[in-house]
Amino acid sequence: MTEDPRAPRDWSTQPPYIFADYKSTVLRGPSKPLVSLKQTLSERTGPVYGHEAIGSLDSDLTRNAAKDGEPLGERIIVTGLVMDEAGRPVPGTLVEVWQANAAGRYIHTVDQHDAPIDPNFFGGGRCVTGDDGRYRFVTVKPGAYPWGNHFNAWRPNHIHFSLFGPCFATRLVTQMYFPGDPLLELDPIFQATPEPYRDLLVSRFSIEVTEPGIALGYEFDIVLRGPSATPLEN
């Protein structure tokens, strides 16, 4: 089975490769124009992941690394739909997440931020979308943390997302932010996204997703490239 060709990447919603305020882009973003590639079998196929690749606790970050208790922080549920541009669900696709702990510290060995590591929190998780395209994670709200981009720079609270979709051309890595975060307007990574589309990266609080007495709920839908036959403007 081969997938239909995908609609082009919609560069109007995407950040540019070089965005001077985000200093690492200056020497790392491609500087020459991209060469157009007419999609072949290589782009219309892609890896397939089934539930066999996923452990039972992989989507619960409050439990997948617990040693002697629960991680500290505000417990949250993050869920949403993975869909194409026409709103059709993308079922059975791998969703991987990683994030800082509630104190704003990553478990990564390179992270030297002077905030505590949580012995009961790893920060990585994954799941596969259901037939309706929905994913769901239980975790704690990640903390903000400082970084070296400019004086007094802080990353807003965020969760990293990695998605595949049906083929190689639908790959996406992005970040989910939280509503009302005052750091968003100061963050060059968030701000690199064209202004009309920044809100696509911000989750929304949902009292319906919130579980009474357990955890606050946030919804974050993700739109991947759809088949090229999709009428984009109807």
* Active site residues per annotation: 106, 145, 155, 158, 160
List b or e across 69-95, with b for residues whose CB sees 16 or more CB atoms inside 10 angstroms: eebebebbbbbbbbbbbeeebbebbbb
Query: How many positions of this chain bind another protein (CB under 8 A)?
Result: 90
Neighbour-count burial of 105, counting CB atoms closer than 10 A to its CB (0-12 exposed, 13-18 middle, 19+ buried): buried
Question: Which of 27, 10, 24, 9 lies closest to 188, judged by CA?
Answer: 24
Residue 213 burial (10 A CB sphere; 0-12, 13-18, 19+): exposed
Of 87 and 179, which CB lies nearer to another protein in the complex structure? 87
Q: Which of residues 1-30 bind another protein (CB under 8 A)?
A: 1-2, 6, 8-10, 13-17, 19, 22-30
Q: How far is the CB of 34 from another protein (least distance, A)?
A: 4
Residue 14 vs 214, nearer CB to another protein: 14
Q: For another protein, which stretch binds (CB under 8 A), given 66-74, 135-143, 178-186, 219-227? A: 219-227
Of residues 68-127, which lie at the interface with another protein (CB under 8 A)?
A: 83, 85-87, 94, 96-98, 100, 106-108, 110-111, 122-124, 126
Query: Of these, 20, 117, 214, 232, which contacts another protein (CB under 8 A)?
Result: 232
3-state SS assignment for residue 176: strand
Could you tell me whether strands 158-163 and 75-84 are parallel, antiparallel, or unpaired per DSSP bridges? unpaired
Q: Which is nearer to another protein, 10 or 211 (CB)?
A: 10
We find the least distance from the C-beta atom of residue 213 to another protein, in angstroms, to be 29
Residues in the chain, how many? 234
Q: Alpha-carbon distance 226 to 4, whole Å?
A: 9
Yes or no: say if 198 and 187 are a contact pair by the CB < 8 Å rule: no
Site for another protein in 40-59 (CB under 8 A): 40-43, 45-49, 53-55
Gap between the Cα atoms of 25 and 209, Å rounded: 37
CB of 204 to another protein, least distance (A): 14
Binders of another protein among residues 152 to 211 (CB under 8 A) are 160, 162, 167-169, 171-175, 189-190, 192-194, 197-198, 200-201
32 binds another protein (CB under 8 A): yes
Choice between 77 and 189, CB closer to another protein = 189
Tokens of 11: 């560069």
Q: For another protein, give the closer residue by CB, 20 or 214.
A: 20
